[in-house]
Chains A and B, each alone.
Chain A
Amino acid sequence: MRLFALPLLFAVAAFGASDRTVGAPNAPVTLDLYSDFQCPHCALLHFGALKEALNDCVASGKVRIVYHDFPLPQHAFARKAAQYADAAAQIGRYERVCDVIFRNQDSWGITGDVEKFVAEELSPAEMVKLHKILVDPKALAEINKTIDADLAAGRKIPVQSTPTMVMTGGGKRYPITGDVRYDLLKQLVSTIVK
Chain B
Amino acid sequence: MRKAIYILARLALAAVFLWAAIAKLRDPWMLFAMEIDNMHVIPSAAVEFTARTVPWFELALGVLLAVGVWARYVAPVTTVFIAILFGIVVVLYLRGFQGDCGCFGPGEQLGPKTLARDFGFVLLSVWVTWEATRRRRPVCFTPS
Give chain A residues whose Cβ lies under 8 Å from the Cβ of B99. 161, 177-178
- Output the nearest chain A residue to B37 by Cβ-Cβ distance: A181
Q: Are B38 and A180 in touch, CB under 8 angstroms?
A: yes
> Is B109's CB under 8 angstroms from A174's CB?
no
A175 to B100, CA, bound (A): 10
The reply to whether A174 and B37 contact each other, CB–CB distance below 8 Å, is: no
Chain A residue contacts of B109, Cβ below 8 A: 160-161
Rounded to whole angstroms, the CA-CA distance of A192 and B30 in the bound complex is 11
Report 25 cross-chain contacts, Cβ distance below 8 Å, ordered by A residue.
Answer: A160-B98, A160-B109, A161-B98, A161-B99, A161-B109, A174-B106, A175-B106, A176-B31, A176-B34, A177-B35, A177-B100, A178-B34, A178-B99, A178-B100, A180-B34, A180-B37, A181-B34, A181-B37, A184-B33, A184-B47, A187-B28, A187-B30, A188-B30, A188-B31, A191-B28
For A184, list chain B residues within 8 Å (CB): 30, 33-34, 37, 47
B contact residues around A36 at 8 Å (CB):
none
Q: Is A179 interfacial (CB 8 A cutoff)?
A: yes
Q: How large is the interface on A (under 10, 10 to 19, 20 to 34, 35 or more residues)?
A: 10 to 19
**Do the beta carbons of A174 and B27 come within 8 Å of each other?**
yes
User: In the bound complex, how far is the Cα of B44 from the Cα of A97, in angstroms?
Assistant: 32
Known: A175-B106, A184-B47, A188-B30. 11 other contacts (CB 8 A): A161-B98, A174-B28, A177-B38, A177-B99, A177-B100, A178-B34, A179-B38, A184-B30, A184-B33, A185-B34, A191-B28
Partner of B31, one of A161, A174, A179: A174
Complex Cα gap A187–B28 (Å): 9
Q: Which B residues are within 8 Å of any A CB, using their own CB? A: 27-28, 30-31, 33-35, 37-38, 44, 47, 98-100, 106-107, 109
Residue of A nearest to B28 (CB): A191
The CA of A178 and the CA of B106, in the complex, are separated in Å by 12
Which parts of A155-181 form the interface with B (CB within 8 Å)? 160-161, 174-181
Which residues of the other chain, A, contact B107 by a CB distance below 8 angstroms? 175
Considering the complex, give the chain B residue whose CB is closest to the CB of A165.
Answer: B34
Complexed CA–CA distance, A188 and B38 (Å): 16
B44 closest partner in A (C-beta): A181
Looking at B28, B34, B99, B106, the one whose CB has the most chain A CB atoms below 10 A away is B34
**Alpha-carbon distance between A184 and B44 when the two chains are bound, in angstroms:** 11
- Nearest residue (CB) in A for B31 is A174
- Which B residues are CB-close (under 8 A) to A161? 98-99, 109
What separation, in Å, do the CA atoms of A160 and B99 have in the docked complex?
A: 8
User: In whole angstroms, how far apart are the Cα atoms of A184 and B29 in the complex?
Assistant: 9
Enumerate chain B residues within 8 angstroms of A179, measured Cβ to Cβ.
38
6 A-B pairs closest in CB distance: A178-B38, A160-B109, A188-B30, A161-B98, A180-B34, A191-B28
Residues of A within 8 A of B37 (CB): 178, 180-181, 184
Give the docked Cα–Cα distance between A187 and B31 (Å).
10
Most chain-B Cβ atoms within 10 A of its Cβ — which of A161, A175, A177, A184?
Answer: A184
**Cα distance A187–B27 when bound, in Å?**
13
B residues in contact with A174, CB < 8 Å: 27-28, 31, 106
